[in-house]
Chains A and B, each alone.
Chain A
Amino acid sequence: MSTIIDPRERPIGYLPEGADINRNIAMRRLRGKIWQALFFSSLVIGLLALGTLLYTIIDDSFGYIAVQTRRDPEELADRPLEELSKEELIEILRANISAGLFRRFDRDEPFSERSKESVLQLIEERVIGREVVAAFKLTESLLERERIEATVRERFPRAELEFHSWINREFLTRPMSSVPILAGVGNAILGSLWVIAITMLLAIPIGVLGGVYLEEYASDTWYYRLIETNINNLAGVPSIIYGLLGLAVFVRALEPITSGAAFGVTDSNGRTILSAGLTMALLVLPLMIINAREAIRAVPQSIRQASYGLGATKWQTVWHHVLPNALPGILTGTILSMSRAMGETAPLIVVGASTFIVFYPDSVFDKFTVIPIQIYNWTSQPGAQFRSIAAAAIIVLLVTLLLLNATAILLRNRFKRSY
C-alpha cells in the first residue's frame, strides 16, 4: 500500500500506483466536472443577462397607469371627438382655452393649415388634459393589484386606474411630445428610414465595388496592402469618431450642400438627414467591404476560368458570374450593415440629431431624429413614464432588428450553394 503523496512533493516522473491511481483519477474527474459546470455557467450568465434585459423592457412597457382628466371628453360634444369635423374641433378649442393661447397656436401654425389630427391633439393636450399621475410596472400590476389600487385611491382620489400598453398604434404613428403618454416614435421611425435609405444607397454600391477591387482587380502592390490594412483598422475605430468626422466634414465644411442651401432650401443648417446618412455610410463601409470580399472569395475559381475560357472580359466575368454567385453573401452582409446602422446612436448625437422635433421629415434637408436617439433621450429623462416609452421604443427597435436578421438568415439558407 502506497501512501498518498502531496502533489507538490511528487518527484519528476512520478507515477501513481495502487490505490493512489484510483484516488488520482477520481480527483481529476471531479475537477473536470466542476470546471465543465463553470464553463457552462458562463454561457448561462450570458443567457440570463439576455433574459433579464428582455424582462426589464417588457416589464416597463406594460402596466397600470392612474389617469386624471381636467375635463371629461363627453362634456365637450355629444359625439366622440374623432367623428367631429375640423371646424367643430377648432370651435371646441376656442371655447375652452384662453384667447391669447388660441392666438399663439394660430401664429405657430395657422388653424386653416393644420390637419384635423393636430387640432385633436391640441384639444387632448390643452382641454381634456389627460394626465397620467402614476405608472406601474407589469410585474406589480399583475401581482399586487390591491396595493396599487390602495395607493392610487389614497394619493389621487380622482384618478382612474387602467391597464395600458405603452406600445400601441398611436405610439407608432404620433410624433414626439413632452407629455409621455402623448408621445410617439412616428417621426423617429420615418427619420430612421430616411437615414438608412441614404446610407445604403451609398454604402451598397461603393462597398460591393470596393470588395470587387480587392478580390478581383488588385494585385499584390503596396497600395493594395495599404487599403487592406486600412479597412481592417477602420472597422475598429470607435463610432463616435465617425460622428466627429461627420460634424466637421458634412455638417460644417459641406454645409452649403448638406443643408440644401445650394439647392434653394433656406431654412436649415447642416444638421440634416443627408449629413447623418453620409456619416453612417462611411461608418458601415468597412463592414460592407469586408462582407462583400468574403462573399466574392467564396465563389470558386473554376467559374471565373470557365467565363474567361469563353472569351469574356474581366468585367463581364465579374458582372455576369462572380457577383450573381456572391449575391446571397452580399445580401446577408448588407442586412447586417443595415442593422448596425439602425441601432447606432453615438455618431448621430454628434452629427446633431434633434431630440425634439414634432414634424415628419419629408426631404433629405430636414432636421431629423431616429429611434435610438429617442431611446437615449427618454432614458436620460427622469420619471417612470419616460422609462416606459423608452422601453416601448426599444421594443420597436428590437423587433425591427430581429426581422432584419431573420431575413438575413433566411436568405443565407435559401440561396446557400455548395460547389
Chain B
Amino acid sequence: MEQKAHVSIEQAATIPAGAVNLRGRRRFGERMIEIIVFICGAISIFTTTAIVVVLFQEAWLFFGSPEVDLIEFFGTTRWQPETGRFGIWPLMTSTLLTSIIALMVAVPLGLGAAIYLSEYASPTARGYLKPILEVLAGVPTVVYGYFALTFVTPVILQGLLGRENVEIYNMLSAGLTMGIMILPLMASMSEDALSAVPRSLREGSYGLGATRLETSVRVVVPAALSGILAAVIVSMSRAVGETMIVALAAGAGPRFTFNPLQAAETMTGHIARISGGDISYASIQYTSIFAIALVLFFMTLLLNLLSGWVVRRFREVYE
C-alpha cells in the first residue's frame, strides 16, 4: 500500500484519471493520536470531578456524623473540634476580614499603578517598572508569610501601634501582606484592561480640552470598568484561597472576632494546621477540613464565575 503513494511527477502525469483513489485513507495512527490528545485535554475534567467528588464525599461523612448538623455548621459561632462544636463562622469571618484588608491595600495601589503604567509612563519607564511587579508576583507566598511575621508585625504594626496593642499573630498583618502579594495581579489585570481601550477615545477627550488626568479617570477608566471589576473579583478570590501568609501570620486557633489586631485562624489556615498534624483518617477532624474546603471551593468558584460574567455583561466593545 505504502509503495503506491510514492508516485513521481512523470508517472503521475501518465496515470489515467480515476486510477488514483483520492479519498482519504483511514489512518489508524492518526485516529489513535486524536484519542490520546483528547484524553490529555479531558484530564482537566477528571480533576474537577475528582475535586467535587472528594470534597462532597468527605463532607457527607462529616455532616452525617451525629455531632454535626447543617444548622449548627452555618448558624453558630464556635469552632472547637475537641468539644464537638462546629460553627464555621469564626473561620469565615477571619477569612473575609483578612481578604477585605488585602483588597483595601491591593485595589487602590494596583489601580494607581496600572493607571500610571498605561496612561503616564513612557515605554522605556514601563520597560523598567513592569519587571519589578513581575518579580513581586513571582515571590512564593511562604516568603510573604515570613515577611509578615518578621517585619510587618514587629516593626510596622507593633512599632506604630504599640507592643501591647498588637498580638504577635494578627489578622491585620496577614491582610496587609496579602495585599502586597495581590498588588501585581490587580495591577497587571487592570493594566491589560486599560491598554485595551482604543486610542481614539483618548484623542477625542484631549481634543475637547481634557487634561491627562481627566482623560484617564473620566474616559479610560469607565471604558475599562468591566476589566477592572473582574480584576477586583479575581483578587478577592486569590485572597480567600491564600494559605501560607495566613497560616504563618494570622494565628493558630479559630476565634470569633472582628478586631484585626487579634489573632484568628482562617479557613485555609485551619485546613493547613489540622492536616499538617498527625490526624487519623477516621476522626471527625479529618472530615471537617473537607467540609471547610467545600465551602471554600464554592466561594472561589462563585467569585471566578462572577468575574467572567462581569466581563461579558459590562464589556464595552469598540470597533
Contacts and interface: CB of A to CB of B under 8 A. Distances in A.
A397 to B, nearest CB: 7
Nearest to B184: A46
Contacts of B37: 209-210, 212-213, 216-217
Interface in A44-77: 45-47, 49-50, 52-53, 56-57, 60
Interface stretch (B83-91, B198-206, B270-278): B270-278
Interface majority SS (helix, strand, loop, mixed), chain B: helix
A39 B120 contact: yes
Nearest to A379: B146
A401 B132 contact: no
Interface residues of B, number: 85
Interface in B284-309: 289-290, 293, 296-297, 300-301, 303-305, 308
A249 to B, nearest CB: 6
Contact of B133 (A46, A223, A315): A46
Contact of A46 (B43, B136, B240): B136
A346 B308 CA distance: 26
A47 B293 CA distance: 34
B293 A240 contact: yes
Contacts of B33: 315
A244 B293 contact: yes
Interface string A76-102: 000000000000000000000000000
A245 B183 CA distance: 29
A289 B139 contact: no
Given A205-B40, A240-B268, A350-B275, 14 more contacts: A40-B120, A43-B116, A53-B144, A209-B41, A233-B301, A233-B304, A239-B241, A245-B51, A249-B54, A343-B139, A343-B143, A346-B272, A379-B248, A398-B143
B141 interface: yes
Contacts of B45: 226-227, 230
B50 A249 contact: yes
Given A234-B48, A238-B242, A247-B275, A376 B110 contact: no
Given A42-B116, A346-B272, A376-B142, A236 B212 contact: no
Residue among B140, B150, B297 facing the most chain A CB atoms (10 A cut-off): B140
A142 interface: no
Interface in A209-259: 209-210, 212-214, 216-218, 223, 226-227, 230-234, 236-245, 247-249, 252
Contact of A213 (B41, B144, B237, B243): B41
Contacts of A237: 51, 241, 297, 300-301
B58 interface: yes
A397 B276 CA distance: 22
Interface of A: 28-29, 31-32, 35-36, 38-43, 45-47, 49-50, 52-53, 56-57, 60, 205-207, 209-210, 212-214, 216-218, 223, 226-227, 230-234, 236-245, 247-249, 252, 282, 285-286, 289, 313-315, 339, 342-346, 349-350, 352, 355, 372, 375-376, 379-380, 387, 390-391, 394, 397-398, 401, 405
Nearest to A353: B276
B31 to A, nearest CB: 10
B8 interface: no
A218 B116 contact: no
Residue among B41, B55, B135 facing the most chain A CB atoms (10 A cut-off): B41
B143 A53 contact: yes
Nearest to A244: B293
B75 to A, nearest CB: 25
B264 to A, nearest CB: 17
B146 A390 contact: yes
26 contacts: A39-B116, A45-B109, A49-B136, A209-B40, A210-B44, A213-B38, A213-B41, A223-B42, A227-B42, A237-B300, A238-B268, A240-B271, A240-B293, A241-B55, A244-B54, A245-B50, A252-B281, A289-B44, A314-B30, A345-B243, A346-B243, A372-B142, A372-B244, A376-B248, A398-B143, A401-B139
Given A315-B29, A391-B146, A394-B146, A234 B54 contact: no
A282 B147 CA distance: 29
B143 A375 contact: yes
B160 interface: no
A254 to B, nearest CB: 11
A236 B142 contact: no
B27 interface: yes
Residue among B243, B248, B268 facing the most chain A CB atoms (10 A cut-off): B243
B289 to A, nearest CB: 7
A243 B275 contact: yes
Given A210-B40, A349-B275, A238 B241 contact: yes
A316 to B, nearest CB: 9
B138 A405 contact: yes
B213 A217 contact: no
